Amino acid sequence: MKAVKLYEAGDLRVEEVDIPELEPGCVFAKVKAVGVCGSDIPRVNFYGAYHPNLTIGHEFSGEIVKVNQVGNWQVGDRVVVPPLIPCNHCQWCRTGHYSLCEDYSYFGSRRDGAMAEYVTVPEKNLLPLPDNVPFEAGAMVDPAANAIHGIWKGEINPGDTVAIYGCGPIGLFAIQFAKILGAGMVIAIDVKEQKLNIARDLGADEVINALEVDPVERIFELTGQAGANLVLETAGLSVVQNQSVCSAGKLGRVVILGISHDKLELSKSAADYLLRRELEVKGSWNSFSNPFPGREWTYSLELMAQQKLRTEPIISHKLNLANAPETFKKFLDKDFFFSKVIFLP
């Protein structure tokens, strides 16, 4: 079968590899769609794999083509695969905090992933994909689950003003969830007008181009100087982390989702606001809860099936596996616009 292999940072190849063996308690799935996560881009271009010769890809859906000693799953079933494989033994797994597992495996990171034609999946990592949900949408349940995990960390209330920094896929799903859960005003912030246009289409009440105006000042103008009740930071940039803290009003909640690979240093103003406004600042990591894989995943699938959570406007590219190496190089070009890139093996 064909697979996209990462040998070291910058060395991504599409190769013919042996089809993996099917272990007991697993299914063999034909990968129908696999998305590029924001974490895949630095892994491929800068940091390299957890181990060399890794098949990348962890946001995916597929169809079962073979089973080996599993329960109710059958050949032909459409599935979504949460990528975390928890140890189920550490204190965090025992208390249902699977995102904090101390000895986990992970598709496309610590074990071969789904940017391939076929993949083996443990039975416990299977979720049914409703018949009316396309495979491309199924490959986007992961970023959707990350978005709602962060929103629930922030404890959204009906009527809240929600500011979302970053209009990548997680931010665009967060906009939709915030509206569904009763936000009074959703404000989307980014530096690319194309992404802000998608944010408008998906329900943002106000959009701010942070290259044109100060987003903190504009948020306070839009809220009558009250500030936002809930702020989600999804960009993973130090300057945006500071803006997020400064954008929250009194007793506001700030949730940091973006992976920065850098120090988190609050400015003098942000530190002052953190104290004087009695803010809560929380981290949100991944998307898993109890019972595994968590309500984040099943809720996202339910909303997709009800056509309340839109995915198609978020997709910018649908490509073949052969396009993977050149596409990951294009990600380094600041003039290359993309939103969610989906590969169709």
**pLDDT number for residue 38:** 93
The ranges of the chain with pLDDT < 50 are none
Cα-based torsion angle of the residue sequence 275, 178, 241, 341 in order, rounded to the nearest 10 degrees = 170
**pLDDT number for residue 181:** 98
Side-chain-side CA neighbours of residue 311 (13 Å) = 26
- What are the backbone dihedrals phi and psi of residue 315, each rounded to the nearest 5 degrees, phi first? -80, 125
**pLDDT number for residue 246:** 98
**pLDDT number for residue 153:** 97
**pLDDT number for residue 261:** 79
**pLDDT number for residue 11:** 96
* Residues in Cβ contact with 239 at an 8 Å cutoff, skipping those fewer than 6 apart: none
In Å, how far are 162, 215, 219 from 211, measured between CA atoms? 20, 9, 14
Other beta carbons less than 10 A from residue 267's beta carbon: 15
**pLDDT number for residue 264:** 86
* Cα distance between residue 65 and residue 63, in whole Å: 6
What is the set of domains in the chain, with CATH numbers?
Answer: 2-140+311-343 (3.90.180.10), 144-283 (3.40.50.720)
**pLDDT number for residue 343:** 98
Whether the Cβ atoms of residue 282 and residue 254 lie closer than 8 Å to each other: yes
* Cα distance between residue 178 and residue 185, in whole Å: 9
- Amino acid identity, position 299: Y
Whether the Cβ atoms of residue 112 and residue 105 lie closer than 8 Å to each other: no
Cis peptide before 291 (omega within 30 of 0): yes
**pLDDT number for residue 222:** 98
3 state SS for 100-149: HCCCCEEECCCECCCCECEEEEEHHHCEECCCCCCHHHHCCHHHHHHHHH
**pLDDT number for residue 263:** 85
- Going across the sheet that includes 11-16, the strands are 11-16, 2-8, 54-55
With residue 230 as reference, give the H or E element that holds it: strand 228-233
- Residue 250: strand, helix, or coil: strand
- Residue 4: strand, helix, or coil: strand
Please tell me the total number of residues recorded for the chain in this structure: 345
